[in-house]
Structure 1
Amino acid sequence: MPHPASRYLAEGPRVGIRHFSYADGAEFTARARESKKLHHPWLFPPDSASGYTAYAGRLIEDPTKAGFLVCAKDDDGGIAGFVNINNIVEGAFQCGALGYGAFAHAAGRGLMREGLDLVVGHAFGPMRLHRLEINVQPANTASIALARACGFRLEGFSPGMLFIDGAWRDHERWAVTAEMRGAPRVAR
């Protein structure tokens, strides 16, 4: 639980996580434009004001989604990356699907590792989820390394799973449960 004066939902030594806001549009889209080479061909975060407003709106208003900005504390809270939990299903499933990306200025500094750990802890804590999945293209070695470093295990392979960058792409499915992270089991 964050300190009442904290602007973060959770924080570690170098980053804090907070929810998206509409006010983050200018910084987020500038970072997305700077990071096109890093992101291609894996993901395509919005790089225009209208694109960001629609994207953030889904994360802010749709109860089956939760979006988190990973903010670098040594950069006055500047956005280092993002982690989204999509397709949140409650009831007996208590699961969500993660998507994430670092921005170029923060890549390779370990900030996303810390940020993803914080989001997973928040998901298994206050959000009371039980399982998180990451679907990643097999050639995206950086994303796979991040999933592995945060305790996710490889569970399967899905051929032609998602339509990305003009083609149906194969994906590996990585997952972690609350028990794997040592979180107490919480029934809803």
Structure 2
Amino acid sequence: MFGPPRAPGWPALLRDGDVLLRPYRRADADAWAGVRRDSEQWLAPWEPTPPGRWSTYNSTRAFHRLRRSHNRSAATGRSLPFAVVLADDGAERLVGQLIISNIVRRAFCSATVGYWVDHRAAGGGITPTALALAVDHAFGPGRLHRIEVNIRPENVASRRVVEKLRFREEAFHPRYLNIDGDWRDHIGYALTVEDVEPDGGLLARWHAVVAQRRQKSAGGVADQ
């Protein structure tokens, strides 16, 4: 018998250097909960207000609920949910998450991307690499035309990520999402596939940015 058709672009393994994007596994539960607990002060100001205590919302039990929800959403083509992992010599360390969600097909072919990274892994170029990998995949096998990112104005680090990748600033959304206990303004950024085609893709654009920075620095550059 034939199974149900696969959603476009899912499942997928995406990699550039030691940055790996893959579906979540059951065995990720402890690592995910540990990273979330350790990064509470780093993440809480930028994330949707949880329904209860942070420790409960980010427990191993919560992970298993989240993973099942992601799997259902991905199977029906509504999202592309990735664990962000540092992989080196066969060892893996879970350091974050990137989800392309709210996928709308037909004449729109658009989606929203959200991401977070372990505070101990921030500043190493992981987030822009992961975002570039995911966007290229979404524009290719994922069959999307547009990707948007919505970020609080105060989240300078996240805004730097999309600005380095030359996302276009498109909109200001007053009181857009309930974040950290209140309704927060957001800035909307976006890219379409036509925006990155001249560069050969968003990952190629990011590689060019890194190469240019290294050329300008005698001792190299620490990518954020």
In the alignment, the residues of structure 2 paired with residue 108 and residue 119 of structure 1 have an alpha-carbon distance, to the nearest angstrom, of 19
The Cα offsets for residues 44-91 of structure 1, whole Å up to 9 and x where unpaired, read as 685202221222222111131221112112382211211111111011
* Correspondence for 1:22: 26
Say whether 1:113 aligns with 2:117: no
Is the CA contact (8 Å cut-off) linking 2:32 and 2:60 kept in structure 1?
no
* Equivalences for residues 24-173 of structure 1 within 5 A: 24-43=28-47, 46-62=57-73, 63=76, 64-74=78-88, 76-173=91-188
Unaligned runs of 5+ in 1: 1-7
TM-score (norm 1): 0.87
Check conservation: 1:21, 1:60, Cα contact below 8 A: no
Rg larger in structure: 2
Post-superposition shift, 1:126?
0.9
State the Cα deviation string for residues 102-148 of structure 1 (Å, max 9, x = none): 11221111111111111111111111111111111000001101111
Determine the C-alpha separation between the residues in 1 that align with 2:97 and 2:164: 17
In 1, Cα distance between equivalents of 2:94 and 2:191: 25
Partners of 2:151 and 2:118 in 1: how far apart?
18
In structure 2, distance between residues paired with 1:134 and 1:157: 12
Identity within the alignment, %: 34
Within 1, Cα distance between the matches of 2:23 and 2:193? 21
Distance 2:42 2:143 in 1: 33
Root mean square deviation of aligned Cα: 1.8
Hey, what's the Cα distance between the residues in 1 that align with 2:166 and 2:95? 21
Structure holding more helix per residue: 2
- Separation (CA, whole Å) in 2 of partners of 1:151 and 1:88: 22
The whole-number CA distance in structure 1 between the counterparts of 2:191 and 2:153 is 18
Equivalence for 2:222: none
Separation (CA, whole Å) in 2 of partners of 1:112 and 1:14: 12
2: CA distance, partners of 1:18 / 1:39:
21
Contact 1:80 1:112 in 2 (8 A): no
**One-letter code aligned to 1:161:** Y
SS of the residue 1:180 aligns to: helix
Alignment partner of 2:189 out of 169, 174, 178: 174
2:149, 2:175 → 1: CA distance? 16
